[in-house]
Structure 1
């Protein structure tokens, strides 16, 4: 009862803090004591509704990125299959473009060492391949493969064994190339010989 009797004069003093507290806690209004949220400026691609293009990580092989190379194909090495000194590796070429892509015959590539120096490696065509090999037309999303085989045989102990680190493939008539990096490298011993099969259409997965 004393609060009701004396509230006539003290009510304004009691109501002002309550009104301020209600305003500070009202839904949809920011607390004036809180720090302002940092502003984030979207990139031009994000402003247009597109996803930004990101490059390959430093340890990723070339062509492994999310974008398709200008020539419309992407190369990828398979695992190296090793047994009793013999080695084998499949390299797959995928048409990641929007137009058909034709491959025919044998792949054209060079072998580079760890220092990117060109190695003198002989390329021998597989004796089991049909001659001449047929052309393969790859629709968008289609793929073809070639198989490389070699031996880790040392026949000359007077020189170090050859170790290839990179295969640079020709992927277009204008001279564009893509590189693949075999897992563990190409341990060619002292034979310096690679056996190569022609491009063969890969079965759809």
Structure 2
């Protein structure tokens, strides 16, 4: 759900504790979900061509220092091009939330007083197609409006792990049973984590 670059950005916006909390709960969810799926022995739910594909050994190419620097620069450019649109959209939505939507409305829908806030945040994230970079400006605006950390992280995890376009791509390599099992485990995990952090997040955030 998060790479090193996103972690640095998370830390700069929300601070070390919230950023590390996001990473830790994401890892816990990934390990727990993977373990459950492994115990269910659903190997037959992977599309046949994935299992039948043979591995190919490719000899590593030796690069000079200059070639490494050139390659690194190209990767940076590619990454910036890839995430720029998501950041732009995220900043736009974040600005809309921050400047145009009254705090009392946000609190009513996503505030800790609403017992369905985590559910709403998770579901809202599903149809969105963005990576972690695109969710950060939105999450920052929600935090400024007083939304609970658990609700915010549930939204971010919902976007990055359960977005509809991601599920469509995943459907190409797994069968329905495994796909819906994955969605169910991740959804339940995100919701549990969200409510837990809303209830006890103050102790370690």
TM-score by length of 1: 0.20
> 1 or 2 for the larger relative contact order (CA 8 Å, sep ≥6)?
2
More strand by share: 1
Q: Report which of the two structures shows the higher radius of gyration computed on alpha carbons.
A: 1
